[in-house]
Structure 1
Amino acid sequence: MSTEIEATAQQTAVEAEAPPQPIRGGLLGGLVKLARPKQWVKNVLVFAAPLAAGRIDEWAVLRQGLYIFAIFCIAASAIYYVNDAFDVEADRAHPKKKYRPIASGVVPVKLAWVLGPILGLIAIGLSFLLCNPGTALIVGLYVVLHVLYSFWFKHVQVLDLMMVASGFLFRAMVGGVAADIPLSRWFLLTAGFGSLFMVAGKRYSEMVLMGEEAAKTRASLANYSITYLRFVWQMSVAVTVLTYSLWAFDIPKGDATLAWQQLSLVPFGFVLLRYAVYVDEGTAGAPEDVVLKDKVIVGLGFAWLLMFVLGVFHV
């Protein structure tokens, strides 16, 4: 592994072990931190389907994307409120999670139990009013399934991986549904297996990094072996590359434009290979930190995005 990757991996590992910052702003600051705004970056996936369809430049489509981005931020925050309220006793016994807003006493448990369902209902209602019934159905399924995940599914082998991966898939789907854009089967397969790669890679990294202590941090890891999780993330990344390739080479006959979407397979594949280094080393426990702090991944990501855009718009 190169020196640059080692440095980034070590920085990620050190930050993961750093003590949590104190919560500022009292109750309001606690409510904001409880909503996990740092995780909202995942919601940019709602723009994936309109971009892949080459319609992101239409104001009506972009507007729906902005609506659903905000709606998913609300829905995700609702899940975090309910999850942390449900896990409060376990979090208080954890060396790091005890500093979370509810576990530390900054946010009352009863208030989180009230606000969580309210935010979930608001998200579903807004998706129906601002978008369409199909969008409301997806948002509703996202909220219900992830509440069930917090209560039960996260302790069920394999289902826990599927539930977390489904959150990414729902985000990738909902942008197209909100804008009435047909979803490509290759797009759905790429998004689905790509999501599974990220989730299985995160769990694998946690096991590599923490060893026997991993199950104390995340109880569901007691159900897995490190070899099984390695199989899942390696299988899922292989299928992701395969389905993306099938999309990239699915060009209508007579299209004489330069095949940018085919060329986009190169940076796309190398991004996955670069990220897999962190997974294999056990330092991909926080995917958003790895992706944003590795300059090579960022550079390859921009190259992929440029080629992807040129391809879908037939430039």
Structure 2
Amino acid sequence: MEHSHAFVLSILLSLFILPPTAVAQLRQNYYQNVCPNVESIVRNAVTQKFQQTFVTAPATLRLFFHDCFVRGCDASVLISSPNGRAEKDHPDDISLAGDGFDTVIKAKAAVDSDPRCRNQVSCADILAMATRDVVALTGGPFYPVELGRLDGRISTKASVQHRLPHPTFNLDQLNTMFATHGLSQTDMIALSGAHTLGFSHCGKFSKRIYNFAPGRPIDPSLNPGYAQQLRQMCPRNVDPRIAINMDPTTPQTFDNTYFKNLQQGMGLFTSDQDLFTDPRSQSTVNLFASSNVAFQQAFITAITKLGRVDVKTGNQGEIRRDCSVPN
């Protein structure tokens, strides 16, 4: 009997001693013993890059989202492939702006220039910190970032398939995709608010303004005046890569104007406008439109949860010396 008790106890103890694999030990100040100034080093590098080009902000924010949704927040989106078979080569990622990648590369170089910090900080954590910094630089909240992610070693084009939301998604499709990552409908709506920054290309929404349905060229959920503006900026045979601001009102400020625009029928994508059109999500849109504080608090909660998605720990990952290639 005593033997069996001892055996059970040893099993229980081993459960506590074994490194956690499912959930990383993410925490604030993770690097305080090896690289205590990491957050200010990253912030300075990101600020410098942001001062050179505004695109730094939306590009970095989108890069973090695309990274976390495909293989978890493991910087796999940063890996390059000589034969075009990496995550970043998938059509859903091809429009990721180079300034996002460049922001992480520059921040990584700044971190590694401190002898104490060299090869101590993961690319995945640098991307998470840089994302917080660009949100704050554009007028959004400055929030604590949990750290302790390792970098993944795998990046494949195939893994992107059906992992990222599309501009044509309705509320059910969005909720289903976000729920697979432990994100609620409120989290999804708050993260959609990141569309307050950045731009899209004509090809992503031209169907809404030219051939929505037989006999109805324009999507009826679009504000008619806004639809005409979009037609002027995106004529029929325009280069589909022409960029249009997602938020036509305050495109360079991280604020709740995106939600006010939805109330006016000025969501660029179907997946944006549906958040207001669908009665199940309309009240949340109205709340965020009426209170920037409510939006910012929900955004902090959502992006913190996003940063925990499928993080790598222990022998699942590494700290890459070069963010674009596994060690």
Bin the TM-score by the shorter chain: under 0.3
Q: TM-score, normalised by structure 1?
A: 0.25
Higher helix content, 1 or 2: 1
TM-score by length of 2: 0.24
